[in-house]
Amino acid sequence: MSSLFKYDKDREAASAAKVRALEALLIKKGVLGSDSVDAVLRHFETVAGPFNGARIVARAWVDAEYKARLLEDTPKAIAELQFPGMTGAEGEHMKAVANSATVHNLIICTLCLCYPWPVLGLPPYWYKDPVFRSRGVREPCAVLREFGVTIPEGKEVKVWDSSAQIRWFVIPERPAHSEHLNEEQLAALVTPEAMMGVALVPSPPPCLRHPNVYSIRRICRDADVRATRFATA
Amino acid sequence: MRLQHYLGGLENLGPVNFFEKKVFMAEWEKRIFGIHTVMMAESVHLDKSLPKYPLSEVPTTFKDTWTWASLRIGAENMQPFEYFKYRYYEKWLMGISQFFIDRGYVTAKELATLTEHYRAHPDSPLPEQPNPALKEQVVRYLHHGDSGLRAPADLVRFAVGDTVYVTDPEAADHTRLPAFLRNKKGTVTEVYPGAFEYFVSTGPDGLDGLQHVYCVSFLASDIWGPDKSEPNTVIYADLFEAYLKPAHSM
């Protein structure tokens, strides 16, 4: 299946020309404005994205009462943070589930690609991979092992298949040695994969465990990494 | 059975391509994603959805309903080997282009001719024709979504803790039932407040009008068999009421 991700140049050029022709025709015929598609893409760079989920997770880590409210009524608890667009497209009904010492959660959409846009943005390609969607419900632990996550024996694994209106996301476990980090620094550790349940949040490296050296520069660098992922270049 | 409905549980597929973390594999994919999302934002059904959008005031020549269901009907009706052959957004491009041709917005010839033009001149610009009011509607849609939540239609059929079985309806053009759950036994873990109206009727599949939606848990061993599943694993799915029947009916 992985060979499906590789195409010759010509195939891409054909699709690129076709989509450009389609957009041009739809603009000419009044179905789209020339600024419509860009407005969509800007939304996923500025309003909806994993930067929201990371901040929600960090808040849950530093505030146990907030975490309880988040699990009890996810939209209401998210609304407390006053991020824009949190009940928007593909986030009309979101629910958080929490990893713990006894439970590991994994989100999946075996039918298509349901995903909580406001808090996680758009899904990475591997999430669309039919192989993940097939195996994730049949052998989640084996898949997680391939992702580098070993589930200890006896830990319960919960797989959440988004097949109706609810869009799930995972509150990962707070890593060890992160006691000194503030909320913003914690948010910088949280990846989209951790909020989908296929990665754990690693402890900060020893040199960064003290708040004075865990600088804003590092957070900016992580934000760059996320922005790069949205880009294709 | 339709293979697209049965993805969950297929075996012998090899490793997941986890290293592909990009959202888009090529720049052009962003454009088809954007076109699809604008279509959802100007779909005629939105004047009846939650929230009720002032769609009649949006200046657009688009006069059709376009939702996730439209895209899925196309994908689920593909020849299954074709479905696996193409990359995700390639299927979107094929389905959406065909939709605009079928509905008479563009002709196949116009599209082919202009495609040849952009093939020869990839950097030639798009027409400059901004539509600020449509852009506003797109932003509004992205911020407020399109919920199927409605007031409850009637009594809730199942309660938390109930044992239920999943139905085995005819394989239709479109379903929200992951097929690996057909005929399996589960337990209701949550009854979502209110009732939901799905984008379209799925005919013999069973989604039509207002329905309650339940979160149902399934033991992996009940789905795949005790010797063929991993231990301590529970699968949760959100299921429309039409897909459930009471345990005593078995």
What would the DSSP string read from start to end of A154-184? Answer: T-EEEEEE--SS-EEEEEPPPPTT-TT--HH
Identify which of A98, A93, A84 has the alpha carbon closest to the alpha carbon of residue A114. Answer: A93
Where would I find the beta strands (DSSP E) of chain A?
A: 94-98, 103-108, 156-161, 167-171
Residues of B in contact with A5 (CB under 8 A): 17, 20, 25, 87
Residues of B in contact with A161 (CB under 8 A): 8, 178, 235-238
State residue A129 phi and psi, 5-degree precision. Answer: -60, 120
Q: What was the pLDDT predicted at B154?
A: 72
Distance in angstroms (rounded) separating the CA atoms of residues B218 and B239: 12
Beta-bridge partners for B217 = B187, B236
Name the amino acid, one letter, at A43.
H
Q: What was the pLDDT predicted at A6?
A: 55
Domain coordinates in residue numbering, chain B: 3-147, 150-249
Sorting pLDDT into bands at 50, 70 and 90, what band is B19? confident
Cβ atoms < 10 Å from Cβ of A58:
22
Identify which of B26, B29, B42 has the alpha carbon closest to the alpha carbon of residue B94. Answer: B29
Residues of A in contact with B40 (CB under 8 A): 89
Query: From first to last of its 233 residues, what are the pLDDT tens digits of chain A?
Result: 445 555 566 899 999 999 999 999 999 999 999 999 999 999 999 999 999 999 999 999 999 999 999 999 999 999 999 999 999 999 999 999 999 999 999 999 999 999 999 999 999 999 999 999 999 999 999 999 999 999 999 999 999 999 999 999 999 999 999 999 999 999 999 999 999 999 999 998 776 665 554 454 455 455 555 555 555 54
Domain B3-147 has CATH 2.60.40.10: no
Averaged pLDDT score across all residues of chain A: 90
State residue B178 phi and psi, 5-degree precision. Answer: -60, 125
Region B150-249: CATH code: 2.30.30.50
Do B200 and B231 meet the contact criterion of CB atoms below 8 Å apart?
Answer: no
Query: Coil, helix or strand for B182?
Result: coil
- pTM, rounded to two decimals: 0.93
Contact A125 B105 (CB under 8 A): no
Contact A165 B85 (CB under 8 A): no
Sorting pLDDT into bands at 50, 70 and 90, what band is B18? confident
Q: What was the pLDDT predicted at A216?
A: 47
Do domains B3-147 and B150-249 share one topology? The answer is no
Q: What was the pLDDT predicted at A95?
A: 98
Distance in angstroms (rounded) separating the CA atoms of residues B129 and A151: 54
Contact A161 B178 (CB under 8 A): yes
Identify which of A124, A109, A86, A119 has the alpha carbon closest to the alpha carbon of residue A164. Answer: A109
Helices B68-76 and B88-102: crossing angle in degrees, nearest 10, is: 100
Check if A79 contacts B (Cβ < 8 Å): no
Sorting pLDDT into bands at 50, 70 and 90, what band is B82? confident
Indicate the length of chain A as a whole number.
233
Query: What would the pLDDT profile of B186-202 be if each residue is shown by its tens digit?
Result: 999 999 999 999 999 99
Residues of A in contact with B17 (CB under 8 A): 1-2, 5, 125-126, 129, 131
Identify which of A167, A31, A118, A114 has the alpha carbon closest to the alpha carbon of residue B44. Answer: A31
Contact B233 A162 (CB under 8 A): no
Question: Among the CATH numbers 3.90.330.10, 3.40.50.1820, 3.40.50.300, 3.40.50.620, which is that of A48-230?
Answer: 3.90.330.10
Averaged pLDDT score across all residues of chain B: 94
Identify which of B99, B107, B110 has the alpha carbon closest to the alpha carbon of residue B64. Answer: B99
Residues of A in contact with B87 (CB under 8 A): 4-5, 7
**Mean pLDDT, rounded, for B132-149:** 96
Contact A18 B93 (CB under 8 A): yes
Task: Compute the nearest-CA separation of B230 from chain A (Å).
Answer: 6
Task: Compute the nearest-CA separation of B60 from chain A (Å).
Answer: 5
The angle subtended at Cα A47 by Cα A41 and Cα A48, nearest 5°, is 80
Alpha helices (H) in chain B, listed in sequence order: 27-41, 68-76, 80-85, 88-102, 108-120, 132-144, 220-224
Q: What was the pLDDT predicted at A207?
A: 66
Task: Compute the nearest-CA separation of B127 from chain A (Å).
Answer: 6
Residues of B in contact with A194 (CB under 8 A): none
Task: Compute the nearest-CA separation of A130 from chain B (Å).
Answer: 7
Q: What was the pLDDT predicted at B153?
A: 65
Distance in angstroms (rounded) separating the CA atoms of residues A192 and A121: 9
Domain coordinates in residue numbering, chain A: 48-230
